[in-house]
Amino acid sequence: MDDLRELYQEVILDHNQNPQNFGRLESHTHSGDGYNPLCGDKLSLTLEVENDEVKDIHFDGSGCAISKASASIMTTVIKGKTVSEAESLFDSFRELVTTGKSNRNNLGKLVVMAGVHKYPVRVKCATLAWHTLKNCLSGSSEVAKTE
């Protein structure tokens, strides 16, 4: 029970109930979809990238609390970052949710997701938004998978 409480801590519940940057950007330069077949999480991202900077990012979709909260937190962190900073955060975040820690110190509020590493199935929920982001930024039109 303690582990579950740790995982579904307040910040995650709050982002699930009040997702940030939810919806679709009317005007966008990048878009992409992600799907996590293990849990059924689906999400779409729209991004406005200008001069190598993510000016705006929105997400849309349906999924479990972890996938939604992770996407919501990701959008708040990615906005204003350069494309290479976003890619570097992807690596840090994946390290965090698979090992429970990261030696990099660029994670900021993303550290609330650290508890996810105890639940391998949930790692895919937490990283879905990030895999989708990576696909978007690389210009891939494929649906991002968590495998």
**Interface residue list for Zn ion (CB under 5 A):** 39, 41, 64, 67, 125
Query: By C-beta, is 32 or 34 nearer to Zn ion?
Result: 34
Query: By C-beta, is 54 or 116 nearer to Zn ion?
Result: 116
Closest approach of Zn ion to the CB of residue 41, in Å: 4
Closest approach of Zn ion to the CB of residue 74, in Å: 14
Closest approach of Zn ion to the CB of residue 67, in Å: 4
Asked if residue 10 lies in contact with residue 67, where contact means CB atoms within 8 angstroms, the answer is no
Query: By C-beta, is 54 or 126 nearer to Zn ion?
Result: 126
Query: By C-beta, is 42 or 79 nearer to Zn ion?
Result: 42
Closest approach of Zn ion to the CB of residue 124, in Å: 7
Closest approach of Zn ion to the CB of residue 12, in Å: 12
Q: What is the 3-state secondary structure (H, E, C) of the chain?
A: CHHHHHHCCHHHHHHHHCCCCECCCCCCCEEEEEEECCCCEEEEEEEEEECCEEEEEEEEEECCHHHHHHHHHHHHHHCCCEHHHHHHHHHHHHHHHHHCCCCCCCCHHHHHHHHHHHCHHHHHHHHHHHHHHHHHHHCCCCCEECC
Query: By C-beta, is 35 or 79 nearer to Zn ion?
Result: 35
